[in-house]
Structure 1
Amino acid sequence: MIKKFTLSVGASLLLMAGLASAADPVKTLKVCTEASPDGFDYSLYHANSTADASSEALYNRLVDFKPGTTELRPALAESWEISPDGKTYTFHLRKDVQFHTMPWFKPTRNMNADDVVYSLQRQIDPSNPWYKTATQGWFYAQAMGFKELVKSVERVDDHTVRIELNRPESPFLADLAMGFTSILSREYATQLEKENKLRDMDVKPVGTGPFVFKRYSKDQMVRYEANPTYFRGKPKIDQLIFSIAPDASVRLQRLKAGECDVMLYPSPQDWPAIEANDKLNLIKGNALTSSYLQVNTQKPPLDNKLVRQALALAVDRPNLIKVVTANAASPMTNPYPPSQWSYNSDIKPLELNIDKAKKLLAEAGHPNGFDMEIWVRPGTSGSNPNPKLTAEMLQADFKKIGVNVNVKTIEWGELLRRARDGEHTSVVLGWASDNGDPDNFLSNNLSCSGMEDGSNFSRWCDKPFDQLLKDARAESDVAKRTAMYKQAQVIFQENLPWIPLFHPLNALATSKNVSGVVASPLTLNSYADADINK
């Protein structure tokens, strides 16, 4: 006799839910990060902490980088063509990409060409109603001269976009993989225009990316949920939480206690202990990163290159690297590290020379030195594990040549704003490449157009140097571009708008049960492929 068992519908559903819950527990990845995001519309900003929280988590570009590399791959565009003259780019869009459904916005269509046109035009067209919403400017678009470069962004049909340039631009495709070209919803923008709430684009984000924004508490946390309709497939984790802790020791304690699963920017002094801990992983990688003292070349006496050369010769780089990075860095001479193609290895490395530094100061009219200020951010960053300690060591080094330094700690957002306005004397800063092209280091930070819009914090404009950058961007031959960039590095070394410090290694720490997280040479952090087994 076969016995039959029956359950009520309600009981069946409860049982299935229990089984599903047991089989598929909610996976939450908690990331201890170093700083609050400045906002969620990355086109307005440039800090890595903001990129991680916005362009990496919430959005996509036409193309992007294969995780852990600078290798380009299709993203929202599944294919593209470039005209023989290098001035016309035609992109063919995916048809299955959906924008996030949010309490404040319900999309009625999939991503299409209108969204691409809107996302780029708003940053380069002064007649666009969104152009003036960037009260501090469109950081990257202005620093990289997109308004002068891009002739038009046109909708060919729903799934085809054509971008016309005024001149050939070799890094252009790689530029389109950068966070500032993230594709936002034209439909959502139209809604905000009707509601007169344009500011909401930065605080109530709507993207196509692997995670959906849920909540943000400033200086505390950002919460996301996995995007179930993500075009590359729903992420393996269900929830993503950024827990904000500027102090690296606090982040490490939280990781050890199980309060975080991933810790960004562990102090190099803690790397050996992390590697020795059988419950943790240390993930290291070479980074296209530079750490330097950015000086305001419009403020005397730093407007004199002899003074800047003297400061550069007063820095004891081996000792700085030992104390600040536990030798997890290499001395810096040129604007970018030797792993970046076109690095000029013929330039003699900067070495400590106190006597020569004093002679240069005397020649510049400052035999007894002078007073100056160094600004630093609190906490740590991907380019510098301890900016304040760096400044204090520079303070001691510069004292040996008669230069008296006052170190001042300023909140990160305020520091950036005031430095863009030119209030600073000098700032401990760093730069991580956004796209693997040498132009990204030079044009963003040292071009004349960057000086005009505030992204060039050194406020240094050298016409021959600037022309080399323009010529190199227009040249498609890598050997010719390399020769131009090598010449540009010679000019940099003679003028030193930065006081070079070091090139750090990149590292992050995770619990042993985390997988799918890699160290990027661009020092960005994506969790689209992350998984956690608890």
Structure 2
Amino acid sequence: MRALRRLLTASVAILLLAGCEDPFSENSTRNRGFIYCGPGQPNTFNPQLTDGGLTADALSSQIFDRLLQLDPVTYKPIPMLAQSWTVSPDGKEYTFKLRRSAKFQVTDWFIPHRGVIADDVVFSFKRLIDPEHPFHDVSGGEYPWFDSMDFAGLVTNVEALDDYSVKFTLSRPDVSFLSTLSTTYAVIHSAEYGDTLLESGDLARIDTHPVGSGAFHLDEYKPHQLIRLKRHWGYWNGAAPMEQVAYDISIRGTGTLAKLITRECDVLSSPVASQLSVIENNPDFILASQTGMNVAFLALNTRHPALSELEVRQAISLAINRETLIQSVYHGTGTPATGMLPPMSWAYDDKLNTTFDPQLALSLMAKAGYRHGFSVDLLVPLTPKAYNPSPIKAAELIQSNLAVIGIQVNIVAQEDINRKLLRDEISDLGMVLTGWIADNGDPDNFLRPLLSCNAKFTGWNLSNWCNRYFDRHLDAAIATDIQEERRDIYLQAQTILKDRMPVIPLAHGVHYQARNASLQGINLSPFGDKSFANVSRSH
């Protein structure tokens, strides 16, 4: 309830941004920008406070910059606000040199008097790791993604060496650290803005009325209607061609495909598989696809009386027909998952496999003492994602498969999975149909946030599973920068997962995006984030 109250408080605060004009009038939006249709409602505009969703996936890259970004081809960290960096021989000190041309946005609630400097980097990351930081406890004081990575345990200090040099000191070597700083969660806030909020006493505005250095700034928010971003003229990489971007977050009308066809939307973020042929056959639209760094999986609460039995978890995996799932839910566009890492990961284990064998599953159920089966709840989100384009349909197929081996699945639908709210109720969970879109290209980003012991305590480990031997493998893999050694360690870690089976990998999805043919410069990323800094309209 405490977490829910915080979310409600944040949602009320950002109501202050609501405007009065027609949100999607021709004059205000389409002639000078474009309309983006995608699911989700923000409860904050600070991605540090979220565990994914609209804020981290679609808004963060527009409003905020990070020290680093991911190369769209190699998926390795490259400069953003940091122009260069050095690493100490022991791997515990990272020193970054900042570009001198980056400026913060001018908004209705703040006018900056200087550009981005090292103090802003210190301010942004000290908030996460220092309980004494004045903003640490603001908006709830929880940072789900960073907590799941044990960021506060890793980073012992962040200090400004001069205006354009900043040093991070780590408690241990971590070769995935640069990738961590490249994610859409690792954003840079304005310390000067923070100082003005300290003077006024309204600290929560830093999360509801954001100030970043990205290509667009927040201009207007109408809950369940729209989010409007305006061009940041002082952007260090050149002002964006588009004056504004409007996010249609309403549920009005006949659905997102109809909005695309009737030109109520210019971009449809994630069309479902059944819509693809309609889009492909229309010359007015362009359908882009990106093999995703993602996985759909079934999280099994290993503290549940029945699901605590290894044979039961193995039986569930054997009973699920992944090929039928791919054909019926993904319409043939996905790939059956044999493990948590997708085939495009450099640590993917191509020797892992899955088997569909209901008869063997029945024998394992009997061996575990559940010859007559049992009943279990399956929590299912309603929101389609790249890793699962139709969650309810997938849940119904799983329900049908498990009925064959005597497991009665009760589908419990929710708008979306809020890991923070589930944390206090995790002992009562049965199964959760969920998934993950990687934030960067490092294998650690798939395994640690979802399955480490620390992630269990932060609520992201929905399997309620803790295996210290598995965790030691994760720690060993980030202690060396020799990729072949890292790969061998990750292969061993994946074998542990296969043997203990706290999660049932189901499929890897393809991320699709449909857009009006007049738009150029919208690129897909396997990590779900996207920047609109180079989008333009030809006519």
TM-score, scaled to structure 1: 0.92
Aligned to 2:488: 483
Give the number of aligned pairs.
510
Letter in 1 for 2:100: K
Aligned to 2:166: 161
CA contact (8 A) 1:247 1:379 kept: no
The farther-off stretch of 265-274 and 312-321 is 265-274
Task: State how far apart, in whole Å, the 2-side matches of 1:65 and 1:414 are.
Answer: 27
2:266 equivalent to 1:269: no
Aligned equivalent of 2:387, options 376, 383, 388: 383
Aligned to 1:406: 410
Residues 216 and 316 from structure 1, CA distance in 2 versus in 1: closer, same or farther, beyond 3 angstroms?
A: same
Letter in 1 for 2:538: N
Task: State how far apart, in whole Å, the 2-side matches of 1:249 and 1:393 are.
Answer: 26
Aligned to 1:314: 319
Letter in 2 for 1:353: D
CA contact (8 A) 1:34 1:248 kept: no
Aligned to 1:16: none
CA contact (8 A) 2:40 2:53 kept: no
Per-residue deviation, residues 16-45 of structure 1 (Å, max 9, x unmatched): xxxxxx9xx952111001111231110111
Task: State how far apart, in whole Å, the 2-side matches of 1:56 and 1:97 are.
Answer: 15
Tell me the percent identity. 34
2:288 equivalent to 1:283: yes
Q: In the TM superposition, what is the alpha-carbon distance from 1:344 to its structure 2 partner?
A: 1.3
Task: State how far apart, in whole Å, the 1-side matches of 2:173 and 2:453 are.
Answer: 20
Letter in 2 for 1:392: E
Task: State how far apart, in whole Å, the 1-side matches of 2:162 and 2:64 are.
Answer: 22
2:92 equivalent to 1:81: no
Q: In the TM superposition, what is the alpha-carbon distance from 1:193 to its structure 2 partner?
A: 2.1
Aligned to 2:366: 362
Instruction: Return 5+ residue gaps in structure 1 as ranges.
Output: 1-21
What is the DSSP-based 3-state SS (H/G/I as helix, E as strand, rest coil) of the residue aligned with 2:78? strand
Aligned to 2:340: 335
Instruction: Return 5+ residue gaps in structure 2 as ranges.
Output: 1-26
2:264 equivalent to 1:259: yes
Task: State how far apart, in whole Å, the 2-side matches of 1:191 and 1:169 are.
Answer: 35
CA contact (8 A) 1:315 1:398 kept: yes
Residues 420 and 329 from structure 1, CA distance in 2 versus in 1: closer, same or farther, beyond 3 angstroms?
A: farther
Residues 240 and 515 from structure 1, CA distance in 2 versus in 1: closer, same or farther, beyond 3 angstroms?
A: same
Letter in 2 for 1:50: T
Residues 473 and 134 from structure 1, CA distance in 2 versus in 1: closer, same or farther, beyond 3 angstroms?
A: farther
CA contact (8 A) 2:292 2:386 kept: no
Aligned equivalent of 2:231, options 226, 229, 234: 226
Aligned to 2:142: 137
The farther-off stretch of 133-142 and 361-370 is 133-142
Aligned to 1:171: 176
Per-residue deviation, residues 450-485 of structure 1 (Å, max 9, x unmatched): 111212121111111010001111111111110000
2:106 equivalent to 1:109: no
Q: In the TM superposition, what is the alpha-carbon distance from 1:66 to its structure 2 partner?
A: 3.3
Per-residue deviation, residues 458-517 of structure 1 (Å, max 9, x unmatched): 111111101000111111111111000000000001111112110011110011111111
Residues 288 and 246 from structure 1, CA distance in 2 versus in 1: closer, same or farther, beyond 3 angstroms?
A: farther
Residues 400 and 360 from structure 1, CA distance in 2 versus in 1: closer, same or farther, beyond 3 angstroms?
A: same
Q: In the TM superposition, what is the alpha-carbon distance from 1:338 to its structure 2 partner?
A: 1.3
Aligned to 2:77: 72
Task: State how far apart, in whole Å, the 2-side matches of 1:249 and 1:501 are.
Answer: 31
Q: In the TM superposition, what is the alpha-carbon distance from 1:145 to its structure 2 partner?
A: 1.2
Task: State how far apart, in whole Å, the 2-side matches of 1:326 and 1:511 are.
Answer: 23
Q: In the TM superposition, what is the alpha-carbon distance from 1:168 to its structure 2 partner?
A: 1.1
Q: In the TM superposition, what is the alpha-carbon distance from 1:156 to its structure 2 partner?
A: 0.2
TM-score, scaled to structure 2: 0.91
What is the DSSP-based 3-state SS (H/G/I as helix, E as strand, rest coil) of the residue aligned with 2:229? strand
Aligned to 1:394: 398
Per-residue deviation, residues 222-255 of structure 1 (Å, max 9, x unmatched): 1111111111111111110111256997111111
2:95 equivalent to 1:118: no
CA contact (8 A) 2:226 2:250 kept: no
CA contact (8 A) 2:289 2:510 kept: yes
Based on CA coordinates, which of the two structures has the bigger radius of gyration? 1
Structure 1 runs of 4+ off > 4 angstroms? 245-249, 413-416
Aligned to 2:19: none
Aligned to 2:503: 498
What is the DSSP-based 3-state SS (H/G/I as helix, E as strand, rest coil) of the residue aligned with 2:378? strand
Aligned equivalent of 1:463, options 468, 474, 478: 468
CA contact (8 A) 1:68 1:519 kept: no
